[in-house]
Amino acid sequence: MNQKKLIVANWKSNPNDLASAVKLAKAIDHKNVVIAVPFPFLPAVYKQLKKSALGAQDLFWADGPYTGEVSAQDLKILKVKYVIVGHSERRKNLKETDEMINLKLKAALRGGLRAVLCVGEPATVRKKGIKEAKKFVKQQLVNDLKSTNKLLKLKANKLIIAYEPVWAISTGKGSEPDTPEDAVGMIKFIKEILYSKFHILNPKVLYGGSVNAKNAKGFLREKEVDGALVGGASLLPLEFHKVINAII
């Protein structure tokens, strides 16, 4: 397995009970894997992991009396190493703005967590062409990383970008497959932005457009693709291990 590739398993709000979460964690525990689980399962899953790192799916941007929220400090106490920020579902369904995501990203980095920042264009933008898609993604990056240059100078290695072409995600209406060639083109573009505007020398960018056992090799064999953000396939141990084994 290529030691430079990273696989992030995003369980979303699955599974339905603690026993299933523990069983699943044992089944997919693997080196160079991050398992991002629902908040209630974090302590129990951490106890099962021998090779994987523990991840959370969100955080709040401040400590203090914020009912229902979870801070970076809370996550650190629970042994979390990674946190997903700005996932497309939260942007769409919970109306998270770039301003909110920027605050969360800063909180994660200041708190010592590795942040997996998700960016990607929806179908309405993609239909206008690749030029508009790149413009959209660039604006997300610029807004989400606003005023982070000093922070990134010290913590650039803790920032990971996950490119999520929303139009290619299976849960989206009228979704269609992305191609490795198109993904590489966008990922190269993202890396250029990270280098030119934020002076990140070796940015890590994952691909997150419905990665599964059938298409994983096509994306992960590309040198520009530094790994994958995996959703539904991470709930199926046999499928997930095929994704891991697709890394050359």
Q: Is 77 exposed, middle or buried (0-12, 13-18, 19+ CB in 10 A)?
A: exposed
Q: pLDDT digit string (tens) for 95-121?
A: 999 999 999 999 999 999 999 999 999
For residue 204, tell me if it sits in a domain.
Answer: yes
3 state SS of 101: helix
Any domain includes 126: yes
Domain assignment present for 160: yes
Domain, as residue range, for 105: 6-245
Tell me the CATH number at 122: 3.20.20.70
69 is catalytic: no
| SS3 (DSSP) at 99 | helix
Catalytic residue among 89, 96, 121, 164: 164
Residue 171 has pLDDT above 80, yes or no: no
Q: Which listed residue (87, 89, 96, 121) is catalytic? A: 87
Residue 16 lies in a domain: yes
How many Å apart are CA 42 and CA 21, to the nearest integer?
A: 9
Note the pLDDT tens digit of each residue in 74-100: 999 999 999 999 999 999 999 999 999
What number of other Cβ atoms are within 10 A of residue 210's Cβ? 20
Q: What is the pLDDT of residue 169?
A: 84
Q: pLDDT tens digit string along 155-167?
A: 999 999 999 999 9
Percentage, residues of the chain above pLDDT 70: 96
Kindly state whether residue 213 falls inside one of the protein's structural domains: yes
Q: For residue 167, tell me if it sits in a domain.
A: yes
Query: What's the chain's average pLDDT?
Result: 95
87 is catalytic: yes
Mean pLDDT of 196-218: 95
Number of domains composing the chain: 1
1 found inside a domain? no
User: Does residue 84 form part of some domain?
Assistant: yes
Q: Kindly state the helix (H) or strand (E) to which residue 228 belongs, with its residue range.
A: strand 227-230
Continuous H helices in 10-148: 18-28, 42-48, 72-77, 88-93, 98-110, 123-126, 130-144
Q: Report residue 172: phi and psi, to 5°.
A: -85, 150
Decide: helix, strand or coil at residue 6.
strand
Write down the pLDDT at residue 3.
Answer: 52
